[in-house]
């Protein structure tokens, strides 16, 4: 038991890409017992049974001019990936997010960033792997209708969780309706974090070394019992991923970030599938087309894609000028 009770700062990257209509996130394997602040560079030797984590790297306090540049630097050095669009996501600093803190380890503060790329090359380092985002958050993929998981597995557990809340039953009921779209409340794709947090409080998803629920509701540290709610991640990285997905879903509606994930030219259906992949819902095809076209977000190239399986589709490209014309050029989600 060390007595270094200082504060340590790390950087986390949620690197997102699309492979056709599959939204991917770059993950690494970490061996059992890796401390949270250990940079990814130290993970190259990892191969044994461990868990999945987000890439993590250090800040060089005298070398890195900004946090973002530090992130770009070690992502590039470690995976060869040149990130295009990068934005700060959130800074995570809860106590015990690194379980080693319980044994006297330092408080670990992680500034997490989102990076979007369309280079889907497998990263050089062997520990890196692209995985579907919905591997970790399966209830978020509503492209084939409301996931049965919600009404079959989550809803009954939610009902019990609401009952367990002594004084704040109505508060819990309200939170649950709002987050999962029960009753009057509509489903809001952007409330990813709210859903995750409720599942965490219910004990249906766990974070390494911590446990959800009120004290006593669920013994800490053990894997959750109950329905299959996707793959776990090390530390609070699944929470970070949930935060990132919520942010991305919100952002595609008012900034043209979706094009960071697209190739130079694309058909309108490819673009629609990309938006759907991240938003987690199906969209109305004709109205989607109208929105991006009349909204000035894309322009035709005259060239055609002949491999559509049906009538050839025109290839479009992103119209950069739209940034100068409209205040909030997002893609809009014409629901189905």
Interface positions with a copy of itself (CB under 8 A): 5-9, 59, 61-62, 64-67, 88, 90-91, 93-95, 106-107, 109, 111, 174, 177-178, 183-186, 188, 190, 323-328
Residue 225: count of CB within 10 angstroms of its CB: 8
Question: What is the DSSP track for 276-309?
Answer: HHHHTS-B-HHHHHHHHHHTTSEEEEEEEE--SS
Select the residue interacting with DNA from 222, 290, 303, 320 (CB under 7 A).
Answer: 290
Q: How far is the CB of 309 from DNA (least distance, A)?
A: 4
Q: How far, in Å, CA of 112 to CA of 22, rounded?
A: 23
Which of DNA, a copy of itself, none binds 177 (CB below 5-8 Å, type-dependent)?
A: a copy of itself
Comparing CB distances to DNA, the nearer of 244 and 262 is: 262
Q: 2 touches which of a copy of itself, DNA, none (CB within 5 to 8 A by kind)? A: none
In the bound state with DNA, the residue whose beta carbon lies nearer, of 213 and 332, is: 332
Shortest Å distance, C-beta 227 to DNA: 31
Of the residues 308, 321, 323, 325, which one makes contact with DNA according to CB under 7 A:
308
SS3 state of residue 210: strand
User: Encoding tokens for residue 14?
Assistant: 């949620």
Residue 219 interaction partner, one of DNA, a copy of itself, none, beta carbon < 5-8 Å per kind: none
Whole-angstrom distance, CA of residue 249 vs CA of residue 16: 12
Q: Site map for DNA, 266-285, x if CB under 7 A?
A: -xxx--------------xx
Rounded to 5°, angle at Cα 15 from 105 and 22? 130
What gap in Å lies between CA 255 and CA 297, rounded to an integer?
Answer: 10
Give the tokens for residue 333. Answer: 């989600």
- Joined tokens for residue 261: 């994930």
């Amino acid at each position: 038991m060390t007595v270094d009770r200082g504060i340590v700062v790390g950087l986390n990257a949620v690197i997102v890409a699309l492979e056709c209509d599959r939204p991917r996130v770059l993950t690494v394997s970490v061996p059992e017992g890796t401390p949270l602040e250990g940079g990814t560079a130290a993970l190259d030797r990892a191969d044994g049974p461990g868990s999945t984590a987000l890439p993590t790297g250090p800040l060089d306090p005298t070398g890195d001019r900004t946090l973002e540049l530090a992130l770009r630097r070690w992502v590039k050095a470690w995976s060869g990936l040149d990130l295009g669009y990068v934005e700060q996501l959130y800074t995570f600093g809860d106590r015990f997010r690194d379980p080693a803190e319980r044994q006297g380890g330092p408080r670990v503060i992680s500034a997490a960033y989102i990076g979007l790329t369309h280079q889907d090359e497998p990263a050089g380092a062997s520990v890196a792997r692209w995985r579907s985002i919905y591997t970790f958050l399966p209830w978020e993929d509503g492209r084939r209708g409301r996931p049965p998981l919600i009404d079959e597995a989550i809803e009954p557990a939610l009902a019990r969780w609401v009952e367990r809340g002594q004084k704040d039953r109505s508060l819990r009921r309200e939170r649950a309706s709002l987050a999962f779209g029960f009753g009057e409340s509509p489903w809001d794709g952007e409330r990813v974090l709210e859903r995750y947090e409720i599942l965490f409080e219910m004990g249906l998803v766990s974070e390494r070394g911590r446990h959800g629920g009120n004290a006593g509701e669920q013994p800490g540290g053990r894997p959750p019992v109950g329905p299959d709610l996707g793959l776990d991640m090390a530390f609070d990285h699944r929470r970070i991923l949930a935060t990132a997905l919520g942010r991305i879903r919100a952002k595609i509606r008012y900034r043209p970030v979706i094009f960071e994930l697209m190739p130079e030219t694309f058909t309108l259906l490819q673009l629609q599938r990309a938006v759907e992949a991240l938003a987690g819902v199906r969209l109305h095809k004709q109205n989607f087309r109208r929105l991006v076209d009349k909204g000035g977000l894309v322009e035709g190239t005259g060239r055609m894609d002949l491999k559509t399986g049906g009538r050839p589709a025109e290839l479009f490209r992103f119209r950069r000028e739209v940034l100068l014309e409209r205040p909030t050029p997002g893609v809009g989600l014409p629901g189905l």
